[in-house]
Amino acid sequence: MTEPSYLAAVRESYDTVADDYAALVKTPSELDPLSRSMLTAFAELVQASGRGPVADLGCGPGRVTAHMAGLGVSAFGIDVSPRMIELARSAYPDLRFSVGSMTALEIEDDTLGGILAYYSTHHTPPELLPVVFAEFHRTLAPGGHLLLAGHVGTGEHRRPTHGYGGHPVSYASYRLPAHQLAELLNQAEFTITAQLVQEPDEELNWKFASFLACKPTTEEPA
């Protein structure tokens, strides 16, 4: 599969801002109680299913991957930015991190117990989200769980010129309505088990949403 053109801008931009991103972004322990509870619920669901490891897709510097490991889940991280992966490997040498894209995962079918896409799909053009969600579905084991979280809006399309630390960036950012993301997950044959939409706080001007979903199991007829 030819790599989608938008990924080059995402890769270059996050390579540029990676060190400042790692210094500025909150750790999971600093998140609000509801966001932390969704991560904990996801970890418990994955553990209860016994299906396999969790892939943290768009893992950045690895903090959420490490948080999952701290909750007792076998987890590894994938990110499109080589610099982010360098930072993750340096900070968490006992965990596995690799460079890759969620549009074409080098993971076998039906092997993952969980997928975590934590604020990592908003740079994907909306017309390509079905490709991404299809990869999530392909690689999850039946009965596996997905936690998708990120900012939501009314369909805004933004092209910031500067990112973390004031460095130049060239990626685009999309804020889709929560109901549109839910519809896309349903179209990808996920069953949504919970969703949470949170209002903006004093630091953030955007609503953000979390979706817990699972890949249905297929029962053989008796």
Q: What tens digit of pLDDT does each residue of 140-197 get?
A: 999 999 999 999 999 999 998 998 989 999 999 999 999 999 999 999 999 999 999 9
What is the pLDDT, as a whole number, of residue 138?
97
pLDDT of residue 203: 63
Q: Give the pLDDT mean for 3-30.
A: 93
For the chain, what is the HEC assignment?
Answer: CCCCCHHHHHHHHHHHHHHHHHHHCCCHHHCCHHHHHHHHHHHHHHHHHCCCCEEEECCCCCHHHHHHHHCCCCEEEEECCHHHHHHHHHHCCCCEEEECCCCCCCCCCCCEEEEEEECCCCCCCHHHHHHHHHHHHHHEEEEEEEEEEEEECCCEEECCCECHHHCECCCCEEECCHHHHHHHHHHCCCEEEEEEEECCCCCCCCEEEEEEEECCCCCCCC
Q: What is the mean pLDDT of the chain?
A: 93
pLDDT band at 222 (very low <50, low <70, confident <90, very high): very low
Question: What pLDDT does residue 77 have?
Answer: 98
Q: Which pLDDT band holds residue 220 (cuts at 50, 70, 90)?
A: very low
Backbone angles phi, psi at 40, to 5 degrees: -65, -45
**How far apart are the C-alpha atoms of 118 and 172, rounded to whole Å?**
17
Question: What b/e string do you get for 89-127 counting C-beta neighbours within 10 Å, with b at 16 or more?
Answer: beebeebebeebbbbebebeebebbbbbbbebbbbbeee
Classified by CATH at the fold level, domain 6-214 comes out as Rossmann fold (3.40.50)
Does residue 115 contact residue 146 with C-beta atoms inside 8 Å?
Answer: yes
Domain ranges, ordered by start, for the chain: 6-214
How far apart are the C-alpha atoms of 64 and 147, rounded to whole Å? 12
Q: Structure tokens of 33?
A: 């109680």
If one counts every other C-beta atom within 10 angstroms of the C-beta of residue 158, the result is 11
- From 1-5, 42-46, 132-136, 176-180, the region with the lowest mean pLDDT: 1-5
Q: What was the pLDDT predicted at 115?
A: 98
Question: pLDDT tens across 66-107, in order?
Answer: 999 999 999 999 999 999 999 999 999 999 999 999 999 999
- pLDDT at 200 (0 to 100): 80
Task: Give the lowest-confidence range in 125-134, 203-212, 213-222.
Answer: 213-222
Residue 27, both tokens: 């750790």
Q: Quickly state the pLDDT bin for 62 (edges 50, 70, 90).
A: very high
Confidence band, pLDDT 50/70/90 cuts, at residue 221:
very low
Comparing CA positions, the residue from 119, 133, 69 lying closest to residue 97 is: 69
